[in-house]
Amino acid sequence: MMRPRLWQGLVAASALVLTGCGGGGSSGGGSGPVTPPVGGGGTTPVYTQPAQIALSAADVGQIVAQGAAQAEADGTPAVITVIDRVGNVLAIFRMTGAPVTQKIPNAPNGNNLDLQGANVPAETAAIAKALTAAYFSSQGNAFSSRTAGGIIQETFPKGPSTGGLESGALFSVQFSQLPCSDISARFTPGQGATPGPKRSAIGFAADAGGFPLYRNGVLIGAVGVAADPDYGFDTNVLDFDNQPDERIGLAATVGFEAAEEIRADKIALDGTLLRYSDIAYSQLAPSVRTATFADAAARLGGLSPLRGYYDGTALLAGTAYGSEASGVRPARTAEFSNPDAYVVSDGAGNNRFPIRGGTDGAEVAQPLTQAEVRTIFEESFAVLSRTRSQVRKPVGSRAEMTLVMVDTRGEVLGIIRSPDALVDAIDATTQKARSVTFFSNAAADDDLIASGDSEVQGFVAATRTFTGDPQVLNGKYAFSNRALGNISRPYFPDGELGRPPGPFSRPIDQWSIFSTGLQSRLVTGSIIEHLQFIAGARPTDVPTRCTSLPAVNANGSRIRNGITLFPGAVPIYRGNVLVGGIGASGDGIDQNDLVPFLGLANAGAKLGTGIGNAPAAIRSDRIAVQVGSSSTRLRYVNCPFAPFLDTTQQNVCQGL
């Protein structure tokens, strides 16, 4: 099926870098399995579980009223959305005169592709901003949608004088949590807040106006605002903006503010502080602190429904993260014995993604067994429990992540989380695990060509030409997510101005965060179908299959929730046979690499069944690309130099 090339005006009425040594055969450290100490992935808890606190309906009304008071003071009517931590929409308040849509920027060269130039409902933009703030924040870090916008672009930091720097650490994450994802739960009319994590109509946001909400240091939700005509991103983080969406969103958080010490502007990546808000609390209107929802509803606007997300009949109370009702809760002993582990549940006590063996026995002679999957999770969680965080405060905190394993069909074989792991990672980590398994699979080449999309087929041809190897996508190489990111940047090597794009990327004069290349091309059609459903132009919602690639079973293709292109996943092999993939996400990108790579190596040594990392001879760091007069290799993993809290051991990935 051909995907739409351009969609315009459809609706009128998606830390991370710690410099360290590489791993995976080409660089890294250590001489074998690293045994965790007692309490580091053992029987004694080492993490603190977040208190189960929820937004009340009265809280939601107060947050809306405060934002509306600021919008009134500014003379800028807005759409204001409040969600809980797992993404339930608790209110959409449309002020009289608020914009109906927000416009995505045009392509740099004016030739709009994918979502470039589209007009999206203002409600979907506000939800995306709120979801971004809630899903990227935790008890140890508070990130806004402005923060996210600064770390997903082709340069970090982004500004007129920063050309030639590498891309942001979360490059490409905007195309996760998609409306077609099979991992995200959907809104059920008439039921209020239900188990998450919930989806976003347009993925994650880079536009300012989304902020997390806290009570007593506990993350309980987020607010998102759409007030101006544009849904874009800040292309110069070296100055300060006066953006109405951000001013209104910040006002909404009064009384629910993130603690100053965990805000993004206290967290540095490669020596550069992140951005939280260009507006200060001292700049807000006095009326914010006396606002009431009764007054706002009487004078300024009212609740507004959004098909597929919110009934619009009442303010709703949120769920308490960690409770069964939230859909993310502590694991029972029978599910996973580690006392720190969390799972994703259905609200009725059932684990949505229980640990199981591979389903791909028709294609794989010896699929992963349930016991092997469990051991890989145990060893990876043990590594995680010892790892020093890059993005959490206070300094010296443990990393928190989500771990996901899949088989060669992309079927999820389990999801295990630490207690306060970012919610975005549930979907994004599944994308990572599926991405490495798909592109390491002998079927990748044929599946992409069979999509019937000439642009997708063009990316395949470009990759063959770029690498000088017509078999590069037919299982010859084991691709890590870091390597897939290498060939998906608009410059190759990443950040080197004047270089051609990687073969999965669009050229820089065409590229934007709304049209990244193969990644965006695979899913744009499904996003458009969902927006048509929201607008009433389509009777049914988009299926839980994000791509037009051939289905491998009744659930869809091998990459049914799309792909993502920042580090944190490796394929799993039995000897030299691909049997699955494992991903990790939620902290620094080198930490994300460390946990699955080292965990898999340790599990392989413990099991003795041939399970482990890809043989060094076929890893993606064996692919050399000629760039001008020099040859550049792709990477496999980068492990932090001295990553653990309990030892000064260095180079822990070397030789594995």
Is 573 in contact with 475 (CB distance < 8 Å)?
Answer: no
In the three-class reduction of DSSP (H, G, I as helix; E, B as strand; rest coil), residue 103 is classed as: strand
CA dist 586 and 605 (Å) reads: 26
589 sits in which H/E element? helix 589-607
Q: According to the model, what pLDDT value does residue 42 have? A: 64
User: Is 50 exceeded by the pLDDT of residue 356?
Assistant: yes
User: Is 60 exceeded by the pLDDT of residue 355?
Assistant: yes
User: Is 60 exceeded by the pLDDT of residue 500?
Assistant: yes
For helices 57-74 and 244-252, the axis angle rounded to 10 degrees is: 140
Tokens of 106: 């045009």
Residue 86's alpha-carbon distances to 62, 138, 421, 488, 562, in angstroms, are 20, 12, 12, 30, 20
> CA nearest 398: which of 386, 411, 414?
386
CA dist 503 and 84 (Å) reads: 39
415 sits in which H/E element? strand 412-417
> CA nearest 52: which of 218, 282, 288, 210?
218
Range 440-461 average pLDDT: 97
The whole-model pTM stands at 0.93
Residue 346's alpha-carbon distances to 54, 146, 196, 200, 353, in angstroms, are 18, 32, 8, 19, 10
Fold for the domain defined by 324-440+568-638: Beta-Lactamase (3.30.450)
Residue 313's alpha-carbon distances to 21, 131, 302, 439, in angstroms, are 54, 21, 10, 46
| pLDDT tens digits along 185-229 | 999 999 999 999 999 999 999 999 999 999 999 999 999 999 999
Tokens of 197: 């994590």
User: Is 80 exceeded by the pLDDT of residue 323?
Assistant: yes
Cis check: omega of the bond before 157, within 30 degrees of 0: yes
Q: According to the model, what pLDDT value does residue 163 have? A: 81
Residue 43 pLDDT level (bands cut at 50, 70, 90): confident
Is 359 in contact with 370 (CB distance < 8 Å)?
Answer: no
CA dist 514 and 520 (Å) reads: 7
> CA nearest 417: which of 499, 501, 352?
352
Domain definitions of the chain by residue range: 324-440+568-638
CA dist 474 and 441 (Å) reads: 6
CA dist 231 and 228 (Å) reads: 8
Amino acid identity at 266: K
| pLDDT tens digits along 118-168 | 999 999 999 999 999 999 999 999 999 999 999 999 999 988 888 888 999
Angle, alpha carbons 554-556-562 (nearest 5°): 160
- What are the residue ranges of helices labelled H in 50-109? 57-74
> CA nearest 383: which of 656, 88, 85?
656
Q: What percentage of the chain has pLDDT greater than the value 90?
A: 88
Range 431-455 average pLDDT: 97
